[in-house]
Amino acid sequence: MTSLDKPTTEDTSADDARAVTEAALFEAFGGVRGMVETVLPGLLFVSIYTVNKDLHMSAIAALAVSLVMVVVRLAMKDTVKHAFSGVFGVAFGVVFAMMTGNAKDFYLPGMLYTLGLALAYIVTAMAGVPLIGLMLGPVFKENLSWRTRNPGRKKAYTKASWAWGLILLGKSAILFPLYWWADTTQLGWVLIALKIPPFLLAVYLTWVFLAKAPPPIDVFAEMEAEERAEEERKAAASE
């Protein structure tokens, strides 16, 4: 291997930063399992409703599978935040549909949540405190240091928040007209089809922006270093 073929320290650091970013995004957004837990209840609901048009059976099945996924997570002593969010989302949809008697209303709380989240991403990006930075800062152990100490990462988080906001806004622009014009099965199948692709696009763009950004400042490591230095000063003073 020639000197030109050997990876430089800069290349290695860039590769490490990309690997850390990939792992952090995978953890923050739940990975493949999180996507399955997000899609499965809605898929089960629309599948059963397509066959027998039974709102009660479809709703109970969707809620039951959500609860089973939480129980499995608990049994495996795994993180349950994604499964719990799925249960709450399904539960709201079930309650809403049961109250109105309209099967399409099973999807309405989730649609409203998506629209609200889209607006939150856009508004926080415009305000200079991008939501994606607030979400991922603790994952990267940088907390809010990116706001004042790492302008490159703040810029990346702002771009990522705009990406998430516009993608979710586009998704809402498709779903809300269908809520009024399409029947329950048509809306359900379109919603299922739009679950994963927009999410993957947003995650990919987030990875691209953060992979090109400066590395995060590990504020936890800084605090630990300050504590060690303080303990050493006290020990030196007591001698």
**Residue 114 lies inside a defined structural domain of this protein:** yes
Side chain identity at residue 166, one-letter code: L
Question: Taking 60 as the threshold, does the pLDDT of residue 9 lie above it?
Answer: no
Q: Between 231 and 54, where is the model more confident?
A: 54
**Residue 152 lies inside a defined structural domain of this protein:** yes
Q: pTM for the full model?
A: 0.82
Domain count for the chain, please give it: 1
CB 111, CB 179: distance < 8 Å: yes
**Residue 4 lies inside a defined structural domain of this protein:** no
**Residue 2 lies inside a defined structural domain of this protein:** no
Share of the chain above pLDDT 70, in %: 80
pLDDT tier at 124, thresholds 50, 70, 90: very high
Helix axes 81-100, 31-52, angle to 10 degrees: 20
Q: Which of 32, 42, 57 is nearest to 111 (CA)?
A: 42
**Residue 147 lies inside a defined structural domain of this protein:** yes
Q: What is the pLDDT of residues 193-215, one digit of tens each?
A: 998 899 889 989 999 999 889 98
**Residue 112 lies inside a defined structural domain of this protein:** yes
**Domain range enclosing 232:** 9-238
Helix axes 151-181, 184-193, angle to 10 degrees: 160
Q: Which of 16, 21, 3 is nearest to 141 (CA)?
A: 21
Please give the mean pLDDT across all residues of the chain.
Answer: 84
pLDDT tier at 12, thresholds 50, 70, 90: very low
**Residue 208 lies inside a defined structural domain of this protein:** yes
Dihedral sign of CA atoms 152, 139, 125, 128 in order: negative
pLDDT tier at 121, thresholds 50, 70, 90: very high
CB 172, CB 29: distance < 8 Å: no
